[in-house]
Amino acid sequence: MSEIKKVKNEYIKEQSNGLRGTIKQELHDSELNKFTKDNEQVLKFHGIYQQDDRDKRKELIKQKKDRLYSFMIRTKNPGGGNISPDQWEILDEISTNWANGTLRITTRECFQFHGIGKKNLWNAVNAMNSKLISSYGACGDINRNTVASPISDLRSSYYYDASYLATEIDKATLAKSKGYYEIWVDDEKYTTNINQKKIEKDDLYGENYLPRKFKIGVGHQSDNSIDVYTQDIGIIPIFSKDNELIGFNILVGGGLGSHHNQAQTFPRLADELGMCKNEDHVIKVVRAILMVQRNHGCRTNRKRARMKYLLEEWGVDKFRKEVERFLDFKLDKFIKFSIKEIDDFYGWHQQPDKNKFFCGIFIENGRIGDTKKIKLKTGLKEIIKKFNIETRLTATQDLILVNIDKNDVDAIKELFEKYNIDTHEKYSSIKKMSMACPALPTCSLAVAEAERYLPKLLEQLENMGYGNEDIKIRMSGCPNSCSRPPVSELGLIGATLGKYNIYLGGDHLGTRLNKLFMELVEDEELPKVISKLIDYWKDNRDSEIQRFGDFYNCQNFDNLKKNIIIQK
């Protein structure tokens, strides 16, 4: 029988010498403005993407010049994106000195830097690590940043610190290779002598790591900001009526990426696997699940390599049996539960310590920078340094200042006013519930705008009188769906430049997928189409409290197009 041909990425990982490749040599080769294709893939495990300015591609081609390459670095901040004041200072300096002047919060509670040149790449990564901020494992075929309900330790009604468990999971799933530290931290002399290979044995990942990226999240019934059903592994603590911890529900097989017009790919919500009695069991189950995906996930087609497709093929019962082969215990029965809300964290809130407060700040599409009107980056830098404030990042791309002394609240409010920083009150409801991915000009996968276009679309809707509608709108520049549009009430996914597919019927709480409504809608038509959808919902809903997504989940889309789209 002939050997099954794996995709090229698998051979790159095998031959990478423990995720080292020849990155070290190429990094210090001043004649190169980019990395070779193999090293480009290995760099992802180091939290680094090679990109180019797509706005300038055509002009450079005309001039017969090479692309304008730069790099994106993504940090890894497990457990709610905790950032100390010293860490914030170095992140701010990196963005100013070597990146494009902004910090961007991602939907996985970490930061991204954009626009870093190759000659400054080592400086930026090394500076991060000097303050114990890593990018190792933030990308690549590995468990990425483990997200959590970010302030579960600061709300007395939550009863469990999800951030702690997420951090422990991250420790237990970090790759064993020290190549990252040799290249970016210690700047150790590197050898390619085959007799001096430094490959460390990794009992979890092996030499091939996982077939594709992997995402884990620890949520809460009162806060589904992490969209727990979209994770490869979703974990929810379950409590008794007396608020005693019973155990942890485990969900498996979520994921939202797909490809247009390719039925073999699709978004999927996670299945109910079972329950763990304690944190130690959770760690063991997480590692066992990773091993099952390592052994059985598809390595011949990266479009089908996410764990969701293994669940779809096997079913959850077969998957559970395979997981339990790696355990010395059986999973308990999954306890049915319901998501109660999505916490937005906005504004000022007292912590359990009555002398401490936290303040949630809306950050449009996660982009922290300065404009003529709002000096967000400058203001946050001064506030965080002056008052020695810890920050948290959310999976909805927002920022939380935590453990603020009661005596400092008024002074911080004055600085908010000085820099024209509004926590949330001046922003419309429809804007606060929105998210967009970076898309163009940096992302190589984007086929349409997202972050640069969504604010314009929402401003048009606000001007038309729809700003105060509580509708969750999310936009992605491609069907990889990094901003999670498939679990929004109204999803907009780029189909080609200037055109979007519209999806309707997801629920507000992120527990139901939406469905394709219209294809290839031009961006200039979106305000009109969306306004008609809002009007039709308000005129025909069952009650004042029926949400937009719930209403459209029950509609016949063919009839809907005739009733509100085709008719003038």
Average pLDDT over residues 519-544: 96
Query: Which residues, at least 6 apart from 149, have a Cβ–Cβ distance to it below 8 Å?
Result: 80, 158, 162, 163, 218, 219, 220, 223, 225, 226, 343
Is 298 catalytic? The answer is: no
CB-count burial class (<10 Å; 0-12, 13-18, 19+) for 146:
buried
Per-residue pLDDT at 22: 97
Question: How far apart are alpha carbons 165 and 229 in whole angstroms?
Answer: 18
Q: Is 26 found in the same domain as 87? A: yes
> Of 13, 74, 320, 431, which residue is the catalytic one?
74
Residue 74's closest CA among 130, 7, 135?
135
Q: Is 383 found in the same domain as 247? A: no
Q: What is the CATH number of the domain that holds 373?
A: 3.90.480.10
**pLDDT at residue 27 greater than cutoff 90:** yes
Q: Is 246 found in the same domain as 110? A: yes
Confidence of residue 187 (pLDDT cuts 50, 70, 90): low
Per-residue pLDDT at 290: 98
Per-residue pLDDT at 153: 92
> Of 108, 144, 308, 474, which residue is the catalytic one?
144
Q: Is residue 342 part of a domain?
A: no
Is 359 catalytic? The answer is: no
Confidence of residue 307 (pLDDT cuts 50, 70, 90): very high
Among 148-162, 167-181, 226-240, 379-393, name the one with the lowest average pLDDT: 148-162
Cβ(311)–Cβ(229) under 8 Å?
no
Per-residue pLDDT at 568: 47
Q: Locate 341 and state its tokens.
A: 């809300």
Confidence of residue 156 (pLDDT cuts 50, 70, 90): confident
Is 144 catalytic? The answer is: yes
> Of 139, 306, 443, 512, which residue is the catalytic one?
443
Q: Is residue 379 part of a domain?
A: yes
> Of 381, 478, 484, 512, which residue is the catalytic one?
478
Q: Is 159 found in the same domain as 82? A: yes
Q: Is 383 found in the same domain as 251? A: no
Is 452 catalytic? The answer is: no
Among 34-38, 78-82, 251-255, name the one with the lowest average pLDDT: 78-82
Q: Locate 185 and state its tokens.
A: 């931290």
Number of domains present in the structure of the chain: 3
Question: How far apart are alpha carbons 36 and 60 in whole angstroms?
Answer: 20
Average pLDDT over residues 112-132: 97
Average pLDDT over residues 454-479: 98
- The average confidence (pLDDT) of the chain is 95
Q: Is 315 found in the same domain as 208? A: yes
Is 139 catalytic? The answer is: no
Per-residue pLDDT at 195: 41
Host H or E run for residue 405: strand 399-405
Q: Is 367 found in the same domain as 298? A: no
Average pLDDT over residues 96-117: 98
- CA separation (Å) from 129 to 22, 82, 132, 140, 203? 21, 15, 5, 19, 26
Distance of alpha carbon 45 from the chain centroid: 16
pLDDT in tens, 370-419: 999 999 999 999 999 999 999 999 999 999 999 999 999 999 999 999 99
Q: Is residue 337 part of a domain?
A: no
Per-residue pLDDT at 196: 47
Domain residue limits at 145: 8-189+204-324
Share of the chain above pLDDT 70, in %: 97
Per-residue pLDDT at 245: 96
Q: Is 42 found in the same domain as 86? A: yes
Q: Is residue 329 part of a domain?
A: no
Q: Is 508 found in the same domain as 396? A: no
Per-residue pLDDT at 81: 85
Q: Is 351 found in the same domain as 467? A: no
pLDDT in tens, 57-80: 999 999 999 999 999 999 999 988
Is 276 catalytic? The answer is: no
Q: Is residue 491 part of a domain?
A: yes
Is 213 catalytic? The answer is: yes
Is 330 catalytic? The answer is: no
How many C-beta atoms surround the C-beta of residue 486 within 10 A?
Answer: 28
Question: How far apart are alpha carbons 150 and 394 in whole angstroms?
Answer: 6
Per-residue pLDDT at 194: 43
Confidence of residue 188 (pLDDT cuts 50, 70, 90): low
> Of 13, 474, 482, 512, which residue is the catalytic one?
482
> Of 437, 472, 474, 484, which residue is the catalytic one?
437
> Of 13, 213, 367, 431, which residue is the catalytic one?
213
Q: Is 384 found in the same domain as 301? A: no
Per-residue pLDDT at 226: 97
Average pLDDT over residues 88-97: 98
**pLDDT at residue 280 greater than cutoff 50:** yes
> Of 20, 155, 215, 294, which residue is the catalytic one?
215
Share of the chain above pLDDT 90, in %: 93
Confidence of residue 4 (pLDDT cuts 50, 70, 90): confident
**pLDDT at residue 541 greater than cutoff 50:** yes
pLDDT in tens, 467-516: 999 999 999 999 999 999 999 999 999 999 999 999 999 999 999 999 99
Distance of alpha carbon 481 from the chain centroid: 10
Q: Is 157 found in the same domain as 241? A: yes
Q: Decide which of 324, 356, 388 is a domain's last residue.
A: 324
